[in-house]
Amino acid sequence: MSVILGSGDYRYRVNPDWARLPDGWAFKDVAGVAVDAQDQVYVFNRGDHPMIVFDRDGNFLRSWGEGVFKRAHGIHFGADGMLYCTDDMDHTVRKCTTDGKVLLEIGIPGKPSPYMSGLPFHRCTHTALSPRGDIFVADGYGNARVHKYDPAGRLLKSWGGPGSGPSEFNIVHNIAADEDGWVYVADRENHRIQVFDGEGRYEAQWNNLHRPCGICMTPGPDGLCVVGELGPALPVNRRVPNLGPRVSLVNTKGELVARLGGQDGAGDAVGQFRSPHGVAVDSRGDIYVGEASFTNWRLTYPDQPPPAHMRSLQKLERVA
């Protein structure tokens, strides 16, 4: 029996076993997911093959990135058709072709800037592109900044700092930009998404979220922000209902449109999540949810082995 999440115009059938890997392969954590113009799905993961590509039916096409990435974290397709891959442990952003050729590298591989210095990068997490090709980088775990680069990789400006006020961040975990140039920043441990113009001027914040982790924007004038929320992890609240982990759909006014899962806490049953870390949407409105399930388990239950059947990638298929 299939499981349907959501309601009304936003109903999704869960397909937990969508991706068919070659024998002996494993994703481990899926840090990020991106979809190209042909609906091919790029899975940026922490297994032995960092980038694994599937068609929209889940058939394996190819892999690349072996020996290039230290730890997958974020991935984004630009309007130029290139992939922007963020490696938090290597402190770099790489612009790559769809077959893995590196065209641009921002950051010094293996050399972080000083902790909370504001200088790029200290464990950068994700990228987004403006309509004219400027590159925004969320930075990240060891900084509380957003950096803006021109298409050639020259730093234009930075904004943000540690804190909980407007334009301040507590783990800048993800970033997205829409067709009008607005920039959306997942301020994870402040439980909000902050909205800025393309020059970094604060516009608004969206609350009613719990540790927003992965975000992406759907195209068009009625676009939505798809938000993967981690949910609670502390011993005193990790089993509290209605906090996630879950996937939420929010319009550009910050209004909640739909919430997918999360009522019953983390788990491995169909329709449950453990750690929605990266999200992407294809041309038909299907949502791909990459989960950092193994890392989340180690942080939450350091003395217990992870379940053998734990997942790190699910597909939510839009129901007409």
- pLDDT single digits (tens) 26-38: 999 999 999 999 9
Helix, strand, coil percent values for the chain (each to nearest 5):
5, 45, 55
Report which of residues 218 and 320 the model is more confident about.
218
Token pair, residue 50, equals: 């960092």
Rounded Cα gap, residues 230 and 232, in angstroms: 7
Q: How far is CA 31 from CA 20, 122, 228, in A?
A: 18, 18, 12
Q: What is the pLDDT of residue 28?
A: 93
The 10 Å CB-count burial string (b at 16+, else e) for 57-93 is eeeeeebbbeebbbebbbbbbbeeebbbbbbbebbbb
Virtual torsion, Cα 127, 93, 202, 160, nearest 10 deg = 140
Q: What is the pLDDT of residue 222?
A: 82
Mean of pLDDT values over 204-227: 94
- 248: domain range? 4-318
Q: Report whether pLDDT(221) > 90.
A: no
With a pLDDT cut of 70, the percent of the chain lying above it is: 100
In DSSP terms, which residues pair with 94 in a beta bridge?
A: 85, 105
Q: Report whether pLDDT(177) > 70.
A: yes
Peptide bond into 200 cis (omega under 30): no
Q: Report whether pLDDT(148) > 90.
A: yes
Predicted model pTM: 0.97
Mean of pLDDT values over 16-28: 95
Q: Report whether pLDDT(75) > 70.
A: yes
Q: Report whether pLDDT(239) > 90.
A: no
Q: How far is CA 41 from CA 85, 89, 164, 251, in A?
A: 14, 24, 35, 24
3-state SS class at 213:
strand
**CB-based contact 263:222 (threshold 8 Å):** no
Q: Report whether pLDDT(320) > 90.
A: no
Rounded Cα gap, residues 314 and 14, in angstroms: 7
With a pLDDT cut of 90, the percent of the chain lying above it is: 93
Mean of pLDDT values over 85-102: 98
| Other Cβ atoms closer than 10 A to 207 | 10
Q: What is the CATH number of the domain that holds 164?
A: 2.120.10.30
H/E segment holding residue 251:
strand 246-251
Number of domains in the chain: 1
Quick one: three-class SS letters along 49-82?
A: CCEEEECCCCEEEEEECCCCCCCEEEEEECCCCC
Mean of pLDDT values over 156-167: 98
Q: What is the pLDDT of residue 1?
A: 65
In DSSP terms, which residues pair with 195 in a beta bridge?
A: 184, 204
Tell me what the pLDDT averaged over the chain comes to: 96
